[in-house]
Homo-oligomer: A and B are copies of this chain.
């Protein structure tokens, strides 16, 4: 149930409409918690019912009404409670690993095709994250709380490191399949290759 709390998080910065929130998600946490518009509107209605947010309808002449949501004291408390509670590790499903696990049914070239495709995607992600990282670092940032900026940047670092960790694994797998070398690596070799 992190979506509720991500929404409360954004509202803790400033009151937002559903539309504003959607943009906030897309421009910041979408890499580790994508949210779509229907979901946001539904969840905000729930948060409203539960008293974690307040709705204010802003009538705008000649336009549709806009609903601005504001976090309540109860909402702030709930947010803080959740933020400091370690979350149970959630299993991330990896279709690629299913493909590798049952890859005995594929030829070398079919397998290599899948692995190379994954490698290209990892490189692309690294490129994107690197570009964002450079943009963040080149900004002045005199107004903002440096601790909050640091924490936001940590999530970017996570994405970068995660994508980079994939490469040695992919490269070693590709190499070994190409060479037809199906011997298992010793643990020390594995760790050496990973670091």
Contacts and interface: CB of A to CB of B under 8 A. Distances in A.
A148 to B, nearest CB: 4
Given A133-B187, A195-B195, A113 B86 contact: yes
A103 interface: yes
Nearest to A1: B95
Q: How many copies make up the complex?
A: 2
A91 interface: yes
A90 B97 CA distance: 13
Contacts of A130: 187
Interface in A121-169: 121, 125, 130, 133-134, 136-137, 145-155, 157-158, 160-162, 164-165, 168-169
B87 A99 contact: yes
Contacts of A157: 169, 185, 190
Chain A interface, >50% SS class: helix
B2 A101 contact: no
B32 A136 contact: no
Interface string A85-106: 1110111111111111111111
B101 A152 contact: yes
A87 B82 CA distance: 33
A66 interface: no
By size class, the interface of chain A is 35 or more
Residue from A102, A106, A155, A160 whose CB has the most chain B CB atoms within 10 Å: A102
A184 B130 CA distance: 13
A146 B182 contact: yes
A79 interface: yes
A114 B164 contact: no
A177 to B, nearest CB: 8
In the A-B complex, the 3 residue pairs with the smallest Cβ-Cβ separation, listed nearest first, are A165-B165, A9-B102, A104-B148
Given A32-B98, A153-B184, 20 more contacts: A9-B98, A12-B105, A32-B91, A32-B93, A79-B105, A80-B106, A83-B110, A84-B113, A86-B114, A104-B147, A133-B187, A134-B187, A136-B184, A137-B184, A149-B184, A150-B182, A158-B169, A161-B165, A161-B168, A161-B190
